[in-house]
Structure formats: C-alpha cells, structure tokens
Amino acid sequence: MNLRRLFLIAVPYAWLGLFFLVPFLIVFKIALSDSALSIPPYTPTLDLSGGWTSIKEFFQGLDFENFVFLTEDSLYWKSYLGSLKIASISTVLTLAVGYPIAYAMAQSADEWRPTLMMLVILPFWTSFLIRVYSWVGIISNEGLLNQLLLGMGVIDTPLQIMNTPTAVYIGIVYTYLPFMILPIYSALEKMDGSLIEAGVDLGCSKLQAFWLVTLPLSRPGMIAGCFLVFIPALGEFVIPSLLGGSKTLMIGKVLWEEFFSNRDWPVASAVAVVLLLILVIPIVLFQKNQEKAEEAGR
C-alpha cells in the first residue's frame, strides 16, 4: 500500500528529474564554463579518471563570468526587455482578439460548438513553421495584402509590415490564438446562463451584466490564456527571425545566434538560464491561478 503510493509519487518526480532537472543542471554547468575551441566547445569537462584532484580542478574551472558578461553588454538586457515588451503586447492583442471569438463560441447554438472548436484547433494540423512562413507571402512588400491594397487604390506605395515588430505581433497573435480562446471558452461555456438573467433581473443593462458577471467569471480563463501565450512568446525564436527582421530584438533570437552562429555555448547557456529564471515567476503565478480557479469551481 505505502510502497504503491511511494511509487506513484516517485514516477512524476523521476520524470521531472530526468527530463527537466538533469538537462537544466547540464545547461547551468555549461553556463559556468568557459568557451573553448574544442569539442564540446567549452571547458572544463569532467574527467573522473583523474580522481579527486581532477574533480577539484573541474570545480575550480567553473565561475559566473558569463552571467557578469550578460550585464556588461547592453545587447542582452535590451533583448530581454524587447522580448518582455513584445510578449506583453502580443498577449494583450491576443486577448483582445481571442475573447470575442471565445464569447461568440460560447453563445452559439449547442450543435455548432464542436464544429467551431474544430476550426480553432484545425491550424495545428499544419506545421507551425509553414504557417508562419506563409505570412511572409501575405505581408511582404510584394505580398498578397499589399497587392490587394495597391490594386484597390487604397495605397500608392507598399506598406512596410515585413521585418517590423508589427509582423512579429501578427505572427504571435496568429500562432497563439487557440491557446487564448480555449481556456476562455471553457470558462464561459460552463457559466450558468441564468446568472446573466439574474443580473438583468436585478437591474443591470446587458452591458453591465457582461461587465459585472460574465467578465469576472471568465477571469480565470483569461488569466490562464494570457500565461499560455505570454510564456512561450517570451522565448519565441521562429516568429521574430522569420517575420521580424534584424531590427527586432528578442532574446530567443540572441540565444540562437550565440549558440549556432558564435558557437559560444557557455554564453548561450547563461542566456537560457536567465530566461528560465524570468519565466519561473509567471509560471508560479499561473499555477496559483489554476489552483484558485479549481477551488472556486467546486
């Protein structure tokens, strides 16, 4: 009995340890190393054959130099800030687009809901990379959008959307919209319709009833959706590199460049560790929100 419980608890911890803690420790260790022209491209590496002295040497070779370096070069903190800004703005935009869609879905007739749900999930059936890339064909200077607007005579010169933050916002909002819609929809859908009627019965206008009843009751869904967008958007790499051009500073892109272009694994690892630390805060808040929503739902 006790053994079984121990086992049940041990499984998720073992999973987390194996696939989260161990990789994190490896990355953290690399972040404390120095860059080197070798394979792997950092030093020191742990050599157990040398016995106690080599282990001691190994630990003496580790230091926080790379983290200090991150604070010295303005590129890094600017990229972190850039990522925070872009992730925040896109989260707000996704919420603004996603809420009405989720609301309309929850209001629609029962027989339509599975179809609408399907339509929201449908884009996942195509590769994310292809979908982001196809936006290039839409928003580039020679793209569909500009051709359409030029053809209709709305504009004389093509709109420069490609390689601007706007393109990144479009990409992120488009990509993460389902993550916003689904939790909001699920909150709205399980709301008892008579609550709105009760609000109206007690003197609310329709708008007031929405503001005072619907909105607060869908808040846990909204918060969940915002985190589900914000967290991956913060480390986003593909969208800014395909659509954002060289001027858009995002930490995911910097990380990629450090790793693959500069082959500076230790600095790249340090960037990753800091990014993770930044993400821990919203992830913990997200967990708190979920727990609260669960408690209120009972």
Partner 1 sequence: MAEPAQQKVFAPWEDPSEKPIIRFEGVTKRFGDFTAVDKLDLKIYRGEFFALLGPSGCGKTTLMRMLAGFETPTEGHIILDGQDVAPIPPNKRPVNMMFQSYALFPHLTVWENIAFGLKREGMEKDKIEARVSEMLRLTRLEQFAKRKPHQISGGQRQRVALARSLAKAPKLLLLDEPLGALDKKLRQETQFELMDIQEKTGTTFVIVTHDQEEAMTVASRVAVMDHGKLVQVATPAGIYETPNSVYVADFIGDVNIIEGAATPNGDQVEIAWAEGLAPIVAKSSEPIAPGAKVHFAIRPEKIYVSREPDMERANRVQGKVIDIAYLGNISTYRVRLANGQMISASMTNARRLSRRDFTWEDEVWLNWTDTAGLVLTR
Give me the residue label for tokens 């928003």: 139
Is residue 110 close enough to count as binding partner 1 by CB under 8 A? no
- Least Å distance between CB 288 and partner 1? 17
Is residue 192 close enough to count as binding partner 1 by CB under 8 A? yes
Interface region with partner 1, contact rule CB under 8 A, candidates 27-35, 84-92, 199-207, 254-262: 199-207
Is residue 194 close enough to count as binding partner 1 by CB under 8 A? yes
Is residue 296 close enough to count as binding partner 1 by CB under 8 A? yes
What distance in Å separates the CA atoms of residue 231 and residue 252, rounded to the nearest whole number? 12
Interface region with partner 1, contact rule CB under 8 A, candidates 59-67, 161-169, 187-195, 265-273: 187-195
Nearer to partner 1, 56 or 190 (CB): 190
Interface region with partner 1, contact rule CB under 8 A, candidates 32-40, 169-177, 197-205, 272-280: 197-205
Interface region with partner 1, contact rule CB under 8 A, candidates 63-71, 85-93, 104-112, 207-215: 207-215
Which member of 138, 200, 279, 293 binds partner 1 (CB under 8 A)? 200
Find residue 34's DSSP bridge partners.
Answer: 43
Which member of 126, 160, 208, 287 binds partner 1 (CB under 8 A)? 208
* Window 211-250: residues binding partner 1 (CB under 8 A): 212-213, 216-217, 219
Note the residues at the interface with partner 1 (CB under 8 A). 192, 194-195, 197-205, 208, 212-213, 216-217, 219, 296, 298
